[in-house]
Amino acid sequence: MVDMGCEESKVASATQAQKSYNAENLLKMNYIQLLTLVEGLETKWLANLDAVSHLDSRIANGEAQFFDIEDAAGPKVDSAPVTLVVAIGANFAQKRTSAPWVSPYRKSTGTGKPVVVTLPSSPMRKHLDETFHAYSTDAMGWKVRRLASDENLHLPKHYILIATNFSPLITFEPWQDYSPQYRAHLLTLFRCGFDYLDDLLLTLKRNGIEPPLLVGHGLDSEVPVLFRRWQTTHKLQHWLLTQNMCRPLSAHPNVFYKKSPPVPPPPRKADLLNEPMGDD
């Protein structure tokens, strides 16, 4: 006599194994497809930048990085589609030495392609995971504080991460160390249009890739204003705002996602005296 319970268990195990196999293959195919697209975009926009005069050699070192892609970290155990997260900050990095205008920050491969790959489990991913966790503990609070599009965001555990910025230029010092007028000048690149970000969205759409979850990071900079303007222009529905992800999420009791939202001030006495009188 065949033990039906045992047979059902074997079938269930085989089905789960097939799902995991399919999921891993889907993950691999998605990453390879996206890597190829990102390499193409980086090559295109470095060439476009090469035709532009150096904006300010006192601040920008001559190198640039438009995009960076990081494969999903850890094993994937279900068959859900792999989520793409696009993180947008101010600029990519700082470097104290000069380079010819314009040089790829991550250098080039042996075939001449610009390097756009970061290994999984980078500090940025770790800090992004911290943001996702903080949101999940008080999603409505993030929405109320205008830090999230809504309180029902699906935040993935396994995701491919594309990092980009509102300035592709590598600066000598940290972005925030420069006065606003110098940062504003660097942001005039491509007529302040952020055309390469538009190109990323268009490329994803042309290749049948769903609009990503967007994360703007760098609350104490121009990022929130530029991010919301760009996100609104393209009607991108799912987004988060957080602090700069080059460092761990703050554990301060009055951290940005716990600060009290603004409240309107009480009416002044003069305002009450000047209110129009109602009809008797």
Given this model, what pLDDT does residue 3 score? Answer: 53
* Biggest CA-to-CA distance, the chain: 94
Residue segments in the chain with a per-residue pLDDT below the cut of 50: 2, 4, 10-27, 77
Bridge-partner residues for 108, per DSSP?
Answer: 114
Given this model, what pLDDT does residue 201 score? Answer: 95
CA–CA dist 168, 42 (Å, integer): 10
Please report the sign of the dihedral spanned by the C-alpha atoms of residue 256, residue 158, residue 28, residue 120.
Answer: positive
The helix (H) or strand (E) run that includes residue 50 is helix 4-50
Given this model, what pLDDT does residue 276 score? Answer: 64
Given this model, what pLDDT does residue 76 score? Answer: 53
List Cα–Cα distances, 104 to 67, 108, 236, in angstroms: 11, 7, 29
Whether 113 and 39 have beta carbons less than 8 Å apart is answered as: yes
Given this model, what pLDDT does residue 253 score? Answer: 80
Whether 165 and 90 have beta carbons less than 8 Å apart is answered as: yes
Spell out the domain ranges in the chain.
11-260
Given this model, what pLDDT does residue 25 score? Answer: 42
The helix (H) or strand (E) run that includes residue 164 is strand 159-165
pTM, 2 dp:
0.83
DSSP state of 212: P
Cβ neighbours, 10 Å, residue 93: 16
- Strand 67-70 versus strand 159-165 pairing type: antiparallel
Angle at 51 between CA 47 and CA 54, to 5 degrees: 110
